[in-house]
Structure 1
Amino acid sequence: MKCAAKHGIPHSAVIFFAVDFDALDGEVTTNVLPYFKNLSGEMSGYRIGVYGPRNVCTRVCEAGYAEFSFVSDMSSGFSGNMGYPIPDGWSIDQISNVTITHGNDSLEIDNDLVSAGGMDDAAVSRLLASTVTIHVNSREYDPTISQEWYQPMINRWTGDVPINDDFDSSRVIGYIHPNDFYVRLLMSHQYHFFVAVSDGVGGLIQGVLNGVEVYRGDDSVLFPWYDSQESFLDWNSDGNGISLSSSSAVTIDTMTDCRVFKLRHPALWLWTTSQESQRVGGVLPMNAEVAIERSLPQLGKSNPNFILCKRWRYANSSSWQSFHDESNGVEVENPFVDLGFQYGCSPSDRLLM
């Protein structure tokens, strides 16, 4: 489950587990069913599918250990296929091989059938999209504060910073670890913030930071970690630790100071049309680089887990280019790139390096 979350597979997606051999009925009883029984108790947040012969798929699904069947019907000589009907509610049926050619090259691929009612949106959900959503508690949010107060931050304190479930509560619901990035929103009090940080398994911890250790009005004593919270844009990741991003600074359009970040994974980007509707613009490839304005890091109004970018370029390219909607070629002025909370917030797993 942790590996699925680390690789950005969203919660509620279907993960198929393969029984890729001719399992006899007795082996299904003694080996396959106990395996899937354990899986069903370990894969919280994900949905389970089974790949295998007809008998395997039928028995695993009838036992309630999987929701979806990917039937290996192409293995017509398997005893688990011979004489058994295709499972009720099957999802995918692997029926033959197809060879595709291009010039002198050829590639053999499977020809699969998809049942009209056997798969749903969760099963084929796009893995690249950030599936986490940041919610602001409207009771605490000060509507007079502009959207620019959404800030991508990084914890440069040497210890963990506790996240509470409310401002008047001492209950800790999580921590921001050293060098982890997070998003914060200034609330009605100047030292109070709503925050969101990765929970390490594909979701979010969302709560509050109270920077005041002892309240004395204008002479309040702040927690020692308070002044060690710095802008995310000041720090690049090298895969293990972090380094100052000033070494990667570039100037865009002759005057805009930007910081450059490399993408550890492919990244979804969005933009807002003139009708104020949000749409997916495309996907940037892994190892591409994005340039983000240093002086005014802006997060999305409805998606503060996306950050405004100026330009992007391919890996090892010196040419920066504008964003163009992949569906219609329209040049986009204000593209927002996924921050990648679904991957994690530490230097070793964050999307923007």
Structure 2
Amino acid sequence: MRQAHRNFLLPLFLNPRLQLLFSDHLQALIDHMVGSTHKLSDSVSFFSKSTFKSMHRLVEEAGELEDLRMLFGPYVPENCLVHFPSPRDVGKSWFCMQLCLAIASAWPAFLGEPITLHGNTLYISTELGKEVIQRRLKKLFVQPPLPISASYKPMVYASRTNLIDDLPKIATMIEKLKPVLIVIDNLRLAFAGADTNNNKEITKLMFILLAICESSKATVIITDHFRKHTSGQLSDSDLQAGSGIKSDLADADFFLRKSAQDKHYRILKRGKSRHFEEGDTAKLLRFNPETFWFELVSDAVNEAEHVGIRSLTEKSEQKDMAVALRSQGKTLDQIAVILGKGKATIHRWLKPDGADPD
């Protein structure tokens, strides 16, 4: 006997449109339509139907579209799949929890980025257990930058189950909650057992995430990791671990990294986007060890001054950066750490006519 399909939601891509099935009795009707039925899991499927229209017609229909709303400025627009790869131990989970609270509490902005779409949020953790999440939330609720209200529901689902196996349960949650933001933390554990270096496997997994995103009309953030030995390189989609197909299929990506200038500093930078130009600068954040909240230090900094600058291979470029950092009041020790050079080398570069830089 065919297993009944569980509730899921609506379409996958803008073109083609994918509709997820609700029950077996719809299957016969859909099979007579032009399109294909695809299985996300053993009990959740969707139906795809293509669109064929002229560009003139599409432009006419576009007049009915509302302005794009923001969940975290251009970093996280509405109804998008956002890839969030970053190095380990930078605070990705803290950041995602805080963003969920900000959106559900109807804050007008977070870390200097406008929030123009508020609503319920769903944080799905396959990494942190219930007790760890409870302890973190307890700390976040003590001294938030703005009041944490009950305007909407910031829900948490912690599970060690593979996301594909958990899909029927998650589909039911999404249908009831109707979140504007879904965070899946993180990709490797959510799809445990999958070869994340295999393009074909990753394409299937990203297809599932796109289905969740478009069917629920929510933005989906999927956290991920950087590959090893990237600490001295400027942020880019190519630094992600595993297959680069993830960035190709995502609507946007952004990165969170530690700064070499202070152990509490973080660099937040946008990457690709289907809606906006890439950002030329990065945000400088500070992780407050007392409140456990991220704080905005500067809206626009040069990332190269914070990541070790080992990507600057030309000696002349390194010297110019040393001079720039010195003009900002940095000490020789600080510049040496930032550039990944010895203090004696920095001293020689900056020493004018035999004078002692310090």
Q: Give the TM-score taking structure 2 as reference length.
A: 0.23
**Relative contact order, higher structure (CA 8 A, sep 6+):** 2
Structure with more strand by fraction: 1
Q: Give the TM-score taking structure 1 as reference length.
A: 0.23
